[in-house]
């Protein structure tokens, strides 16, 4: 069966030209890539000519900054082409080689330029004040301010060198977890609904949880977590020492605590994090209402975790060719104006997108590019899957964010932060759902499906990620307060959070307390909260733009144009969302509640 299925996947050469992305704006040929690669490689030794001299004069200082930025710009161009070509076909050895060479060149440049930031921070205050008042450095003021903010947390040259030497070693906890999770853990096999014996994996775990056969999804759940139970002590040790690592670096760098260090780069105050947790915990009733409704529709005595992914709308026929999907995206986003939709449509049909699956092509989807390229999109579009439509408009949101940022900002400020990255994409998804609900007004089955999909998306991104964020906070505080962070301590914390966030509306199997051991983002401290704040901001902006006039729309488009020229909270404030208050979180939960009420209103359809 597997051989037959693989034969149906076309080779790269069989994909029509119009269905591939056009990388010629990056490099017309591989030879052009080689030429720039050689040029940049030959320029790297120039980094040494600036070492130790940044305090000599404003002109030399500006020259060093511009050399570094220009080098980075070229390196990004080199890397982008190599990684896009390698993702076209992972079996193509030529492009795998180009990718490895690009990574090597990037690493060498990073090593040679590593002195620049600490040397800027060590420039005497009076010299830096003189530099900042120099008209020739005006455009770099925010760039320098972000570096200089770290002065109180930058140590002596000798200590900084020791900390740099510890960098590779500090990744040990996450590397150990990654090897266990991705290489050593096996989950056995499961017989699927068609009677086929299938190996259970990270990739298909959620697919099994969506099975209409409850015994299959129950078996998948317990079998999956049995593997974590077998390795629970090792994984708990890795997570414990990851937290200890965070605590060590926050103390050495003179931060008040781990969270303060984690939020410092984006200049996010603790209140934003605390407001998120408090606002969600104070308004869990719509989630409870939804869980109770799900239990009722599925006709269950008890709702378990393995019952929360299965679609409650069993089957909705769907077919939408790629070109129609582009038109649908344009219609859904018409409120953003002609420039946005015309640019997006031209890009989606004219070379930005690598549309369909081919043999060896990277799975999944992403938006990627650089300052000197279009904002490319890799997708594996399927006409028969509505999720492909949502993926397309999601990645188009990222790409249009990049298009506006690159057009409006100089290179030094074109790249926006992770904090705002998901806003533009989730904004687009929210408007798509609203559009589809209007489009299928007379198809109550499709309406129920779209509502259920949107509800489950918000549930996973807002409520669940908020719970993860609180777990992160609790575990780091345990280490900071010198309390033991044992396996049982972790499970007890997580058990308490499950009880709070599901409030007796979900039967909590003890195996679910092992979920805290399988989240890779916990090894990147204080990251997951950005998913919850991002979707809250996106919903607030989408509802505002859809119900507002030209000024509201223009404020949102101006937000897309800001790139990294401001701190993320200031950018969102300019767009009309104040994340320093709980209002956007509360608004997102109110929106969620309204969707739940609309779905409950279609109960007769779901039972039919």
As a dihedral over the C-alpha atoms of residue 223, residue 225, residue 229, residue 231, rounded to 10 degrees, the angle is 100
> Quick one: which of 556, 532, 562 has its CA closest to 268?
532
Residue 297 burial by Cβ neighbours in a 10 Å radius (0-12, 13-18, 19+): middle
C-alpha 107/C-alpha 82 separation (Å) is 15
Residue 186 burial by Cβ neighbours in a 10 Å radius (0-12, 13-18, 19+): exposed
HEC profile of 107-164: HHHHHHHCCHHHHHHHCCHHHHHHHHCCHHHHHHHHHHHHHHCCHHHCCCHHHHHHHH
| DSSP one-letter string for 354-378 | E-S--TTPPPS-EEE--TTS--EEE
Alpha carbon distances (Å) from 459 to 256, 566, 593: 32, 30, 11
Alpha carbon distances (Å) from 133 to 58, 128, 138, 144, 412: 10, 9, 7, 12, 19
Question: What DSSP element (H or E) covers 30?
Answer: helix 30-43
- Give, rounded to a whole angstrom, the gap between the first and last alpha carbons of the chain: 35
The residue from 76, 88, 119, 395 that is catalytic is: 395
SS3 57: coil
395 is catalytic: yes
Question: What DSSP element (H or E) covers 198?
Answer: strand 197-199
> Quick one: which of 49, 526, 485, 21 has its CA closest to 246?
526
- Count the neighbouring beta carbons within 10 Å of the beta carbon of residue 145: 11
SS3 507: strand
- Count the neighbouring beta carbons within 10 Å of the beta carbon of residue 27: 21
C-alpha 451/C-alpha 433 separation (Å) is 8
> Quick one: which of 404, 410, 450, 407 has its CA closest to 424?
404
C-alpha 592/C-alpha 462 separation (Å) is 10
C-alpha 26/C-alpha 75 separation (Å) is 12
CA angle 396, 438, 334 (to 5 degrees): 40
What amino acid positions are annotated as catalytic residues?
Answer: 395
């Amino acid at each position: 069966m597997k051989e037959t299925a693989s034969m149906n996947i076309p080779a790269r050469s069989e994909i029509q030209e119009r269905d591939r992305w056009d990388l010629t704006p990056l490099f017309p040929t591989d030879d052009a890539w080689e030429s720039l690669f050689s040029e940049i490689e030959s320029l790297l030794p120039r980094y040494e000519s600036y070492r130790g001299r940044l305090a000599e004069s404003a002109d030399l200082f500006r020259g060093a900054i511009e050399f570094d930025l220009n080098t980075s710009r070229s390196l990004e161009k080199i890397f982008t082409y190599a990684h896009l070509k390698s993702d076209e076909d992972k079996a193509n050895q030529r492009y795998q080689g180009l990718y490895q060479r690009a990574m090597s060149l990037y690493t060498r440049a990073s090593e040679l330029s590593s002195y620049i930031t600490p040397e800027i921070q060590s420039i005497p205050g009076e010299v830096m004040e003189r530099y900042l008042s120099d008209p020739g450095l005006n455009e770099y003021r925010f760039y320098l301010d972000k570096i200089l903010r770290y002065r109180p947390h930058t140590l002596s040259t000798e200590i900084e060198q020791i900390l740099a030497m510890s960098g590779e070693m500090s990744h040990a906890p996450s590397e150990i977890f990654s090897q266990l999770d991705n290489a050593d853990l096996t989950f056995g096999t499961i017989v699927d609904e068609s009677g086929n014996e299938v190996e259970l994996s990270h990739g298909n775990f959620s697919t099994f949880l969506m099975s209409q056969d409850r015994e299959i999804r129950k078996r998948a759940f317990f079998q999956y977590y049995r593997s974590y139970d077998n390795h629970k002590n090792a994984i708990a040790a890795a997570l414990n020492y990851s937290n200890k690592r965070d605590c060590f670096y926050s103390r050495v760098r003179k931060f008040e605590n781990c969270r303060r260090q984690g939020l410092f780069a984006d200049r996010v105050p603790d209140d934003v994090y605390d407001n998120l947790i408090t606002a969600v915990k104070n308004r869990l009733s719509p989630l409870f209402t939804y869980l109770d409704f799900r239990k009722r529709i599925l006709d269950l005595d008890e709702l378990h975790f393995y019952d929360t992914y299965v679609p409650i709308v069993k089957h909705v026929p769907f077919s939408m060719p790629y070109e129609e999907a582009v038109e649908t995206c344009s219609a859904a986003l018409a409120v953003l104006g002609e420039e946005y939709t015309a640019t997006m449509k031209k890009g989606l049909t004219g070379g930005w997108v690598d549309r369909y699956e081919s043999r060896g092509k990277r799975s999944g989807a992403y938006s990627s590019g650089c300052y000197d390229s279009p904002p490319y999109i890799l997708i594996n579009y399927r006409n028969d899957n509505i999720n492909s439509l949502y993926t397309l408009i999601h990645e188009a949101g990222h790409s249009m964010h990049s298009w506006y940022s690159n057009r409006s900002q100089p290179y030094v400020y074109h790249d926006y932060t992770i904090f705002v990255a998901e806003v533009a994409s989730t904004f687009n998804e929210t408007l798509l759902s609203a559009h589809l609900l209007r489009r299928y007004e007379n198809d109550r089955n499709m309406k129920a499906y779209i509502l259920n999909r949107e509800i489950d998306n918000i549930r996973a991104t807002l409520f669940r990620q908020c719970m993860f964020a609180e777990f992160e906070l609790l575990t780091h505080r345990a280490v900071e307060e010198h309390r033991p962070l044992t396996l049982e301590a972790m499970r007890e914390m997580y058990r308490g959070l499950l009880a709070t966030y599901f409030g007796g509306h979900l039967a909590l199997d003890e195996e679910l307390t092992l979920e805290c051991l399988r989240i890779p983002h916990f090894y990147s401290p204080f990251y997951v909260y950005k998913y919850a704040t991002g979707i809250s901001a996106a919903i607030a902006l989408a509802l505002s733009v859809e119900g507002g006039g030209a000024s509201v729309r223009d404020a949102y488009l101006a937000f897309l144009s800001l790139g990294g020229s401001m701190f993320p909270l200031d950018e969102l404030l300019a767009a009309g969302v104040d994340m320093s208050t709980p209002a956007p979180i509360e608004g997102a939960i109110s929106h969620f509640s309204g969707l739940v009420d609309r779905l409950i209103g279609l109960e007769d359809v779901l039972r039919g």
